[in-house]
């Protein structure tokens, strides 16, 4: 029976073309995605390629989607480990790797190419060849990338987190980054997370690794060989993760669209071929055999399409890889490797999609009765089966439930729920279409039955008699318009919500944003003289890394009402500003007045020794102050005002600080004094500065002094201030929407052509009964227009509940009413496109059929 | 002889198709239609029976019920000794596949398959790998040896009908049912098809039951059943028709006197039909 399927496919290839194209594209997409996915594994960073063995700090499991750096070693641990690792026989040097933000400034503008600075010693870990000049020996000397076009001896301005500073180029390397003396690197950077071992020629790596493991113990991880790829920068890892999200989304959508389109193509084909199946039953085929034959057809089409798709995917995967790098979804230097197993898996996925899609069609085919071979086929008796009713109702209910749930969901989950809602509603309405469509058609075409001409009656009765056909042609329009409305509406509403959020958030007269830099330096903050948060990462025992922000007391005062204090008093820095950080065991909890005896946590004894070590240079601990904690974190950990928190910072040092307040609406889980953050994280950058009216003109006057920043008024800020993440999400959405619409457009054309070809004999009868070709064409066009309009209306109906749900979720989140934005021009354009497509796809085969009858 | 009510089913070998008090009622919103009304009839092995009657008299319904394509509302259908009543859809299909062949007015062939593949279809459905020689022989028997590779679209109506007959016979069925097999054909082609059916009975003792409107077609049969309003109203052997006098040995369809005899037979049948229609 399977081979029988093969023959039918051969005999009526045109009927399967739609399914073939859809599947082929779907498999191409899946195989591209799979190849990209497999190729997207991390590799050993070039900077460490010359070190056989590396030691890094222990990794703490983080929440999905977070890529914060791991806790660094304390300076003491670094000193101790370095000393002991260096003593291992065969090890020439143990190099603590320090990196910090650095960027060259040329003609007053930051050069965007290289963004990191390192200590000179770390070049021993890389296989870099010096190109010219010598190593840096004094502070103020730098060896940099020769691509910058500077030669040894020339001056250069380097922008670091502190601000611009003059340097002298002493040499160039054929490698990215700025290399300064180790002492200077220690001053500019935070803590150490990697120590690289430079081995002597001929040393036994395995033995060194063993020895290193013994020394490090639980304080770190020893990596060698390919395992060193675990050292790829967290930022690359994050980009890769976003890329995976995009690819997963694309694959899921491609799968859904493929199944939907292929299923409707096959279902429609089965309806059209009832007589053929009846004949087979007449000749002696059991229902099972008929089902298997339909499966055989799907398998035949599926395997040819899957092979074509895999070939197409293999050819296009490198292109997709480049596009992803360009769009920022994969780190630079990413390239696609062609491997066999992802291709085999994609092929299998194609077959599975085909078989899943044909499942319900095959059941219907199996139900064909022998006598149906002897009847005229166009009038169907039973259009809604009980199982169709049940499934349709279930999907619709699920969709509505998802839409309702969206209203109460977190914004992140809301996006997913919205998509689920739309998908479920689409499937549900498509299943129920044969029940919904006749009454709607009856109402819509009522004026037609009053007209004098034949066309009106023909259109109306034709559509009503062939409910299944009308439903089948409506479905792809429904999906297209539904998806387009939903996806564009979703992004526009989100964008509007973000703008609203920003406008309400920014009570400043101007905002300074980074321009060509990853963030703003302290010099920029000082020049703008505004309010700025300084983000960093802190580490508490037993918790994953936590995002924290440094905040000045002035900012705190201004933001007091937005933070919504739950408990305690807003203060971070006032009391501790000029005082050395408290050492372990010191108990100043009483000072804060709100101390609750039960809530007082015991400080961990280790932190807070602050003799400046030789390695980290002269850095007085200017920390201290209190900690403001977000409510969810305080609730989770049982922290209250007065609780004394032992925290480790970016430089590996620890301090025990008292909680001063718990707030409901913190920008990060932890707020600290800005000075505390700066003293522990010399490389931290400010993402934005809010500037007050009083100083605004002045700022705009000094605009040129704010190196690496630009000044915007709040309106412009709200409108355009898309963060990098927003930009990625936007691109992502466009890709998804484009893909979905492309797919379903294909399906519109396909079902239209199929249904029209099927009616060639009707047209012939019409012509013979005296209809002019124009009248026939008019009938078909009118039908297509009604079908497209119906589908469009249902599509909007599908999208609206989901969007409304999302809108109210955002309203709750932001606290200000979010207006539902539906980009009607886009939606109307899509509807128009569907209309043109539907009419064209119906008119061309009609013309051909009408010609043939002449 | 066969419409006479009897108390016990007769031997399957002698009468492969038996209907006992079969009623078929089509229910629809517009009202009920009784297509077969308490019909008891059986057909003898190795005979060619023509079923005639006015349009709507229930001929097709009789055929569908007798062939197990449709289930009667009441009564019993026995094919080749098997009561169809208790059979489920699959069992019924298997029985049809092995024991019954059909030819209809049109819509007979799977358009995607070649003539040869169409003929081989029942065998393949039964899981038997068709031997090329067997299928070609069947095609040759209906005079289509050279057209094995053509698809139905490339064959004339008569040729398609002959392919359908070859297919109906490929499994060696106990009965061949034909519903107006010549309805869509011109008289020449019709005659070819009817000769073919006649020769099947003559040479292979094939039981054939054929519905027709055409007295000429009916004249090829051994026996004619006249239906009206779902009942058998008349029944006669063509051999008993008055024209029998025209010549002995006229039974042999291929005999030189056959056509002449049949023309006269057809006239007699038409006369009986006219009487019947007048009485309705
Ligand atoms: N599927 C059906 N549903 C309802 N009524 C039906 C159906 N099939 C047949 N009938 C009715 O049953 C009666 C007998 O129909 P049948 O097709 O057996 O007639 P027929 O003798 O074959 O007629 P014709 O010579 O026109 O083919 C007719 O009145 C017809 O309207
Ligand atoms: Mg009939």
Q: What is the SS3 string spanning chain B?
A: CCCCCCCCCCCCCCCCEEEEEEEEEEEECCEEEEEEEEEEEEECCCCEEEEECCCCCCHHHHHHHHCCCCCCCEEEEEECCEECCCCCHHHHHHHHHHHEEEECCCCCCCCCCCHHHHHHHHHHHCCCCCCHHHHHHHHHHCCCHHHCCCCHHHCCHHHHHHHHHHHHHCCCCCEEEEECCCCCCCHHHHHHHHHHHHHHHHHHCCEEEEECCCHHHHCCCCEEEEEECCEEEEEEEHHHCHHHHHCCCCCCCCCCCHHHHHHHHHHHHHHHHHHHHHHC
Q: Which residues of A touch B107 (CB under 8 A)?
A: 275, 279, 373-374
> Do the chains contact at B112 and A286, CB–CB below 8 Å?
no
- The pLDDT score that the predictor gives to residue A163 is 87
State how many domains chain B has: 1
pLDDT at position A493 over 50: yes
A181 band by pLDDT with thresholds 50, 70 and 90: very high
> Do the chains contact at B104 and A374, CB–CB below 8 Å?
yes
pLDDT at position B247 over 50: no
Task: Determine what percent of chain A is predicted with pLDDT higher than 70.
Answer: 79
Cα A57 versus chain centre, distance? 28
Task: Determine what percent of chain A is predicted with pLDDT higher than 90.
Answer: 5
Model confidence over A344-359: pLDDT tens digits?
988 998 888 888 888 8
pLDDT at position A418 over 80: no
A814 band by pLDDT with thresholds 50, 70 and 90: low
Q: In angstroms, what is the span from residue B106 Cα to ligand 2's centroid?
A: 12
Q: In angstroms, what is the span from residue A621 Cα to ligand 1's centroid?
A: 102
pLDDT at position B13 over 80: no
Alpha helices in A466-541 (DSSP H): 467-505, 522-528
Indicate which CATH number applies to the domain containing B174. 3.40.50.300
Residue A259 vs residue B258, higher pLDDT: A259
Q: Which residues of A touch B179 (CB under 8 A)?
A: 374
- Option in A11, A12, A374 nearest B107 (CB): A374
- The pLDDT score that the predictor gives to residue A505 is 58
pLDDT at position A132 over 70: yes
Q: Is residue B43 part of a domain?
A: yes
Q: Give the mean model confidence (pLDDT) for residues A439-446.
A: 80
Residue A2 three-state SS: helix
A141 band by pLDDT with thresholds 50, 70 and 90: very high
Cα A806 versus chain centre, distance? 18
A599 band by pLDDT with thresholds 50, 70 and 90: very low
- The pLDDT score that the predictor gives to residue B280 is 61
Q: Is residue B5 part of a domain?
A: no
Other CB atoms closer than 10 Å to residue A654's CB: what's the count?
A: 25
- The pLDDT score that the predictor gives to residue A309 is 92
Model confidence over A779-806: pLDDT tens digits?
888 888 888 888 888 888 878 877 787 7
Q: Give the mean model confidence (pLDDT) for residues A296-314.
A: 90
What is the rounded CA–CA span in Å between residue B110 and residue A280? 8
- The pLDDT score that the predictor gives to residue A597 is 38
- Option in A7, A276, A284 nearest B125 (CB): A284
Closest ligand 1 atom to Cα of B180: 27
A114: left (phi > 0), else alpha (psi -120 to 50), else beta? beta
What is the rounded CA–CA span in Å between residue B84 and residue A137? 103
- Option in B93, B111, B151 nearest A284 (CB): B93
Mean pLDDT of chain B: 80
pLDDT at position B125 over 50: yes
Ligand 1 close to Cβ of residue B212 (< 6 A): no
Q: Is residue B104 part of a domain?
A: yes
Q: Give the mean model confidence (pLDDT) for residues A4-18.
A: 64
- The pLDDT score that the predictor gives to residue A694 is 52
What is the rounded CA–CA span in Å between residue A791 and residue A786? 8
Residue B25 three-state SS: strand
- The pLDDT score that the predictor gives to residue B250 is 43
What is the rounded CA–CA span in Å between residue A339 and residue A342? 6
Is residue A431 packed enough to be buried (19+ CB in 10 Å), middle (13-18) or exposed (0-12)?
buried
Alpha helices in A759-772 (DSSP H): 760-768
pLDDT at position A722 over 80: no
What is the rounded CA–CA span in Å between residue A122 and residue A119? 6
**Element at B52 (helix H, strand E):** strand B48-52
Model confidence over A230-258: pLDDT tens digits?
787 777 777 777 777 667 766 776 777 77
What is the rounded CA–CA span in Å between residue A777 and residue A774? 5
pLDDT at position B39 over 50: yes
By residue range, what is the domain housing residue B124?
17-279
Q: Any residues with CB less than 8 A from the CB of A235 and at least 6 apart, and which?
A: A67, A331
Q: Which of A122-136, A155-169, A295-309 has the lowest mean pLDDT?
A: A122-136
Q: Give the mean model confidence (pLDDT) for residues A695-724.
A: 61
Residue B23 three-state SS: strand
What is the rounded CA–CA span in Å between residue A558 and residue A576? 20
- The pLDDT score that the predictor gives to residue A118 is 92
Strand A644-648 and strand A654-663: the pairing is antiparallel
- The residue nearest atom 28 of ligand 1, judged by CA position, is B56
β-bridge partners, A201: none
- The pLDDT score that the predictor gives to residue A378 is 44
What is the rounded CA–CA span in Å between residue B177 and residue B63? 7
pLDDT at position A697 over 60: no
pLDDT at position A123 over 70: yes
Q: In angstroms, what is the span from residue B115 Cα to ligand 2's centroid?
A: 26
Q: In angstroms, what is the span from residue A668 Cα to ligand 2's centroid?
A: 82
- The residue nearest atom 5 of ligand 1, judged by CA position, is B26
State ipTM. 0.78
- The pLDDT score that the predictor gives to residue A615 is 36
pLDDT at position A622 over 80: no
pLDDT at position A38 over 50: yes
- The pLDDT score that the predictor gives to residue A621 is 32
pLDDT at position B216 over 90: no
B248 band by pLDDT with thresholds 50, 70 and 90: very low
Which residue reads 């999609």 in tokens?
Answer: A353
- The pLDDT score that the predictor gives to residue A617 is 33
Name the nearest CA neighbour of B160 among B107, B93, B225, B203.
B107
pLDDT at position A705 over 60: no
Mutate which of B55, B58, B105 for ligand 1 pocket (most atoms within 8 A of beta carbon): B58
- The pLDDT score that the predictor gives to residue B261 is 66
- The pLDDT score that the predictor gives to residue B4 is 45
Mean pLDDT of chain A: 77
Most confident of A446-460, A488-502, B101-115, B198-212: B198-212
Q: Which of A380-384, B89-93, B133-137 has the lowest mean pLDDT?
A: A380-384
By a Cβ cutoff of 8 Å, what residues of chain B touch chain A?
64, 69-70, 89-90, 93-94, 96-98, 102, 104, 107-113, 117, 121-122, 124-126, 151, 167, 171, 179
Strand B223-228 and strand B48-52: the pairing is parallel
B172 band by pLDDT with thresholds 50, 70 and 90: confident
Mutate one of A2, A281, A284 to test the B interface: name it (highest B CB count within 10 A).
A284
Extents of the domains making up chain A: 1-42+232-376, 51-58+84-225, 434-506+716-854, 510-590+620-715
Q: Which residues of B63-92 are buried (b: 16+ CB within 10 A; e: fewer)?
A: bbbbbbbbebbebebbbbebebeebeeeeb
pLDDT at position A457 over 80: no
| Nearest ligand by distance to the CA of B58 | 1
pLDDT at position A310 over 90: yes
- The pLDDT score that the predictor gives to residue A620 is 33
Q: Residue A753 phi/psi, 5° resolution?
A: -60, -45
Strand A141-145 and strand A164-173: the pairing is parallel
Its pTM stands at 0.65
């Amino acid at each position: 029976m399977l081979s029988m399927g093969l023959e039918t496919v051969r005999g009526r290839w045109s009927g399967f073309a739609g399914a073939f194209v859809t599947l082929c594209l779907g498999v191409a997409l899946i195989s591209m995605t799979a190849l990209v996915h497999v190729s997207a594994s991390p590799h050993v960073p070039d900077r460490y390629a010359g070190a056989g063995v590396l030691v890094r700090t222990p990794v703490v499991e983080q929440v999905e989607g977070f890529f914060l750096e791991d806790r660094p070693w304390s300076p003491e641990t670094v000193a101790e480990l370095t000393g002991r690792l260096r003593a291992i026989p065969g090890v020439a040097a143990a190099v603590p790797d320090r990196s910090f933000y650095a960027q060259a400034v040329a003609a007053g503008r930051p050069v965007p190419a290289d963004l990191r600075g390192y200590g000179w010693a770390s070049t021993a870990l890389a296989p870099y060849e010096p190109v010219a000049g010598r190593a840096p020996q004094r502070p103020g000397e730098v060896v940099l990338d020769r691509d910058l076009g500077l030669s040894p001896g020339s001056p250069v301005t380097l922008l670091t987190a502190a601000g611009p500073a003059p340097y002298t180029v002493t040499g160039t390397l054929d490698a990215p980054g700025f290399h300064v003396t180790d002492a200077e690197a220690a001053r500019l950077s935070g803590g150490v997370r990697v120590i690289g071992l430079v081995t002597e020629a001929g040393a036994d790596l395995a033995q060194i690794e063993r020895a290193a493991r013994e020394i490090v113990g639980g304080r770190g991880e020893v990596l060698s060989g390919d395992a060193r790829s675990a050292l790829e920068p967290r930022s690359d890892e994050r980009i890769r993760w976003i890329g995976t999200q995009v690819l997963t989304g694309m694959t899921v959508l491609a799968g859904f669209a493929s199944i939907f389109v292929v299923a409707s193509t096959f279902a429609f084909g089965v309806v059209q071929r009832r007589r053929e199946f009846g004949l087979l039953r007449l000749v002696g085929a059991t229902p099972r055999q008929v089902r298997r034959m339909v499966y055989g057809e799907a398998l035949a089409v599926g395997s040819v399409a899957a092979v074509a798709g895999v070939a197409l995917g293999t050819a296009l995967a490198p292109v997709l890889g480049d596009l992803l790098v360009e769009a920022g979804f994969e780190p630079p230097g990413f390239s696609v490797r062609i491997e066999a197993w992802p291709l085999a898996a994609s092929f299998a996925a194609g077959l599975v999609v085909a078989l899943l899609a044909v499942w319900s069609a095959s059941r219907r085919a199996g139900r064909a009765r022998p006598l149906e071979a002897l009847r005229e086929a166009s009038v169907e008796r039973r259009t809604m089966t009980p199982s169709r009713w049940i499934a349709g109702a279930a999907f619709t209910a699920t969709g509505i439930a998802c839409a309702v749930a969206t209203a109460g969901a977190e914004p992140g989950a809301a996006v997913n729920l919205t998509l689920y809602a739309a998908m479920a509603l689409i499937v549900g309405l498509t299943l129920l279409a044969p029940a919904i469509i006749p009454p709607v058609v009856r109402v819509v075409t009522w004026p037609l039955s009053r007209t004098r001409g034949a066309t009106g009656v023909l259109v109306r009765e034709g559509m009503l008699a062939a409910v299944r056909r009308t439903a089948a042609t409506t479905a792809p329009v429904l999906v297209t318009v539904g998806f387009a409305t939903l996806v564009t509406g979703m992004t526009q509403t989100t964008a509007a919500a973000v703008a609203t959020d920003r406008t309400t958030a920014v009570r400043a007269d101007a905002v300074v944003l980074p321009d060509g830099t990853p963030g703003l330096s302290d010099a920029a903050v000082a020049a703008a003289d505004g309010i700025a948060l300084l983000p960093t990462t802190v580490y508490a025992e037993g918790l994953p890394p936590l995002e924290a922000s440094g905040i000045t007391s002035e900012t705190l005062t201004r933001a007091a009402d937005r933070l919504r204090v739950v408990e305690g008093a807003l203060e971070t820095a006032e009391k501790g500003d000029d005082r050395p950080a408290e050492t372990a065991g010191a108990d100043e909890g009483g000072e804060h007045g709100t101390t609750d005896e039960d809530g007082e946590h015991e400080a961990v004894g280790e932190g807070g020794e602050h003799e400046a070590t030789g390695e980290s240079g002269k850095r007085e601990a200017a920390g201290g102050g209190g900690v403001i904690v977000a409510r969810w974190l305080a609730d989770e950990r049982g922290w209250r005002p007065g609780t004394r928190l032992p925290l480790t910072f970016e430089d590996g040092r620890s301090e025990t600080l008292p909680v001063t307040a718990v707030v409901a609406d913190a920008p990060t889980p932890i707020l600290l004094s800005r000075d505390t953050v700066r003293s522990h994280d010399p490389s931290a950058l400010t993402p934005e500065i809010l500037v007050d009216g009083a100083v605004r003109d002045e700022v705009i006057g000094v605009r040129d002094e704010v190196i690496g920043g630009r000044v915007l008024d709040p309106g412009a800020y709200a409108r355009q201030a898309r963060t990098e993440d927003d930009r990625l999400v936007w691109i992502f959405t466009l890709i998804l929407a484009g893909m979905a619409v492309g797919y379903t457009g294909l399906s519109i054309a396909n079902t239209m052509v199929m249904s029209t070809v099927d009616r060639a004999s009707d047209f012939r009868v019409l012509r013979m009964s005296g209809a002019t070709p124009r009248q026939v064409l008019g009938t078909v066009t009118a039908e297509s227009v009604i079908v497209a309009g119906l589908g469009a209306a249902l599509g909007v109906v599908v999208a609206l509940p989901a969007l409304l749900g999302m809108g109210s979720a955002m309203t709750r989140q932001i606290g200000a009413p979010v207006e539902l934005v539906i980009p009607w021009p886009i939606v109307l354009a899509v509807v128009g496109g569907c209309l043109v497509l539907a009419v064209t796809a119906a008119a061309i085969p009609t013309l051909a059929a009408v010609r043939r009858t002449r | 002889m066969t419409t006479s009510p009897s108390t016990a089913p007769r031997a399957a070998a002698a009468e492969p198709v038996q209907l006992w008090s079969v009623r078929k009622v089509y229910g629809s919103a517009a009202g009920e239609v009784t297509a077969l009304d308490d019909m008891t009839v059986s057909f003898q092995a190795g005979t060619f029976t023509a079923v005639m009657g006015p349009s709507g008299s229930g001929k097709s319904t009789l055929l569908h019920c007798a062939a197990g394509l449709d289930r009667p509302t009441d009564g019993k259908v026995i094919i080749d000794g098997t009561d169809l009543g208790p059979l489920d859809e699959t069992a019924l299909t298997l029985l049809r596949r092995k024991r019954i062949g059909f030819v209809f007015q049109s819509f007979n062939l799977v358009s995607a398959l070649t003539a040869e593949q169409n003929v081989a279809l029942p065998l393949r459905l039964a899981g038997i790998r068709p031997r090329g020689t067997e299928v070609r022989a069947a095609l040759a028997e209906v005079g289509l040896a050279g057209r094995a590779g053509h698809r139905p679209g490339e064959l004339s109506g008569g040729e398609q009908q002959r392919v359908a007959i070859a297919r109906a016979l490929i499994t060696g069925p106990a009965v061949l049912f034909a519903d107006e097999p010549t309805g869509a054909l011109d008289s020449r082609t019709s005659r070819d098809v009817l000769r073919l059916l006649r020769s099947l009975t003559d040479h292979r003792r094939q039981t054939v039951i054929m519905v027709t409107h055409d007295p000429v077609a009916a004249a090829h049969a051994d026996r004619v059943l006249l239906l009206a309003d779902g009942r058998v109203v008349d029944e006669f052997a063509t051999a008993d028709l008055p024209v029998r006098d025209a010549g002995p040995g006229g039974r042999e369809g291929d005999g030189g006197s056959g056509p002449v005899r049949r023309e006269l037979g057809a006239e007699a049948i038409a006369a009986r039909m006219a009487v019947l229609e007048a009485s309705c």
